[in-house]
C-alpha cells in the first residue's frame, strides 16, 4: 500500500455527529492505493456500462463532460480511520448515465485501470447517491486522487469510490471486488463500522 501526504491532525472544533465511530478528522487528503498510480490522458479515457444490458454504452471523457453536471459538498470516510469534511466534487450523476439503460441487475461491479474492482448494490449508485467525479475543489482531478475520473459514493467507506474508474458492470449476482476478496466488508457502511468481513 502506498501512503503519501498524510499528517493526521485532529480537529476539536468539528461537530462529533458528523464523524462516524472510530474515525478522526484530517485536513489533508491522504493518498492510498494498492499499487502504482495509473496515468491516463483524458483523451484516452472512456467510461463503459456493460453486463446485464442490451448493449454496452461507452462515453469518452469529453462526452461525459458534455452531460449535465452537478457539484456536491460532502464528507468522505476512509476505512483506515481518517475522515475529511466538506470536500467539493463535480461530475455526472450515475442517475444520468443509467437513465436510458434497461437492466434487470441488482448489483454493480466498478472496474478501474490497474485491475481494481469494487462491488456495490445498484441501489447505492442511484437516487443521487453516486457520481463519476472529474473535479475536486474546483480543479481537474489529479491522478493521485483517481483522475481523470473516479467513482464517488460518499455514504460508504472510500474504497468503494473507485479511483481511475473505467466502467460499471451491471450484474444479477453480487461479485466481491478487490478489497472485498481480501477480507474487507462487502458493503462498507462507515456509520456501522463495517470495515472488515464479519463487522
**Contact, 137 vs 171, CB < 8 A?**
no
Q: Sketch out the chain's domains with CATH numbers.
A: 23-28+40-192 (3.90.420.10)
pLDDT of residue 198: 84
Mean pLDDT by 10 residues, the chain (199 residues): 47 82 92 78 95 97 98 97 97 97 97 96 98 98 95 98 98 97 97 93
pLDDT of residue 1: 47
pLDDT of residue 60: 98
For the chain, the first-to-last Cα distance in angstroms comes to 22
Predicted TM-score of the model (pTM): 0.90
pLDDT of residue 7: 46
Beta partners for residue 33, in sequence order: 2
pLDDT of residue 38: 81
The answer for residues whose C-beta is within 8 angstroms of residue 132's C-beta and 6 or more apart is 47, 64, 91, 92, 94, 97, 149, 150, 151, 152, 165
Q: 65-95 burial, b for 16+ CB within 10 Å, e for fewer?
A: beeebeeeeebbbbbeebbbbebebbbbbbe
CA dist 7 and 25 (Å) reads 11
Measuring CA to CA, which residue among 76, 78, 73 is closest to residue 88? 73
- The 3-state DSSP class for residue 160 equals helix
Beta partners for residue 169, in sequence order: 50, 109
Query: Helix count (H) and strand count (E) of the chain?
Result: 3, 13
pLDDT of residue 12: 53
pLDDT of residue 2: 45
**Which class for 9: exposed (0-12), middle (13-18), buried (19 or more C-beta within 10 A)?**
exposed
Amino acid at each position: 500500500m502506498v501512503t503519501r501526504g498524510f499528517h493526521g491532525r485532529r480537529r476539536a472544533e468539528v461537530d462529533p455527529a458528523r464523524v462516524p465511530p472510530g474515525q478522526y478528522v484530517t485536513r489533508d487528503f491522504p493518498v492510498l492505493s494498492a499499487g502504482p498510480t495509473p496515468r491516463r490522458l483524458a483523451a484516452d479515457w472512456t467510461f463503459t456500462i456493460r453486463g446485464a444490458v442490451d448493449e454496452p454504452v461507452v462515453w469518452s471523457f469529453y462526452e461525459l463532460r458534455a452531460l449535465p453536471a452537478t457539484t456536491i459538498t460532502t464528507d468522505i470516510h476512509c476505512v483506515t480511520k481518517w475522515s475529511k469534511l466538506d470536500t467539493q466534487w463535480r461530475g455526472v450523476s450515475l442517475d444520468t448515465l443509467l437513465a436510458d439503460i434497461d437492466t434487470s441487475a441488482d448489483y454493480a461491479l466498478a472496474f478501474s485501470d490497474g485491475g481494481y474492482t469494487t462491488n456495490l448494490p445498484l441501489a447505492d449508485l442511484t437516487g443521487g447517491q453516486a457520481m463519476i467525479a472529474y473535479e475536486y475543489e474546483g480543479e481537474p482531478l489529479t491522478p493521485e486522487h483517481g483522475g481523470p475520473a473516479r467513482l464517488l459514493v460518499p455514504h460508504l467507506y472510500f474504497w468503494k469510490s473507485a479511483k481511475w474508474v473505467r466502467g460499471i458492470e451491471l450484474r444479477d449476482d453480487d461479485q466481491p471486488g478487490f478489497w472485498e476478496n481480501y477480507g474487507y466488508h462487502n458493503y462498507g457502511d462507515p456509520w456501522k463500522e463495517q470495515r472488515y468481513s464479519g463487522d
